[in-house]
Amino acid sequence: MNIFERLHSGETVPMNDPEYSRIFEVASRTMKLSAELNRSADIKEIRQLIGDIIGTPLDESTTVLAPFHINLGIFTRIGKNIFINHDCTFLDIGGISIEDDVLIGPKVSLITESHPLNPSGRKALMVKPIVIKRNAWIGAGATILPGVIVGENAVVAAGAVVNKDVPNNTVVGGVPANVIKTIG
């Protein structure tokens, strides 16, 4: 298995792994495309460049506003009728899936990557996917941490730090985020 397959299978990979440079190779390609993306003020051009970064064309119903930051991109899937506001950050080595009809506020961070707590192994990398289900709304400045599933129709309040799954049809907020109420 290559380094990405090993990470996705749950393996913790140290920085001195012989394949670790593969991460930086992909990141370098993405940084070049991201620089072009973040100089653009044209929604169609931004959509095209994000499609190039993630390896799949974005649907014309999806809008992403620059600046937009993504470390690899090849593990991100973005559905239809999505709106991603300014200055969002996606660290996607673990995989990010955004289903249809999702709203993502400004300065939202989706972080699929983490490190061991033990100081002697802290420079190793571990990943878990993030899934944002259909019709969810992620408020401004929220942070979604590795392994979280945000349920259908759920709302993550502005500034929340989400470290556990968000049930369908709920509003969560706080640090760490907790259910505030049920919708409908």
Task: Indicate if the pLDDT at residue 148 is higher than 90.
Answer: yes
Distances from the Cα of 102 to the Cα of 41, 110, 152, angstroms: 22, 14, 9
Catalytic residue among 8, 69, 86, 115: 115
The pair of structure tokens assigned to 67 is 């600046």
The 10s digit of each residue's pLDDT in 68-111 is: 999 999 999 999 999 999 999 999 999 999 999 999 999 999 99
The model's confidence at residue 140, banded by pLDDT at 50, 70 and 90, is very high
Query: What pLDDT was estimated at residue 107?
Result: 98
Give the CA dihedral 139, 64, 34, 47, nearest 10 degrees.
160
The model's confidence at residue 184, banded by pLDDT at 50, 70 and 90, is confident
Catalytic site residue 115?
A: yes
Q: For the chain, give the mean pLDDT.
A: 97
In this structure, what CATH number is given to the domain that contains residue 131?
A: 2.160.10.10
The 10s digit of each residue's pLDDT in 160-171 is: 999 999 999 999
Q: Which domain holds residue 91?
A: 3-182
* Number of domain units in the chain: 1
Per the CB < 8 A criterion, the answer to whether 153 and 137 are in contact is no
The 10s digit of each residue's pLDDT in 102-139 is: 999 999 999 999 999 999 999 999 999 999 999 999 99
In the chain, % of residues over pLDDT 90: 99
Q: How many whole angstroms separate alpha carbon 121 and alpha carbon 169?
A: 39
Going by their DSSP bridges, the two strands 137-138 and 155-156 should be labelled as parallel
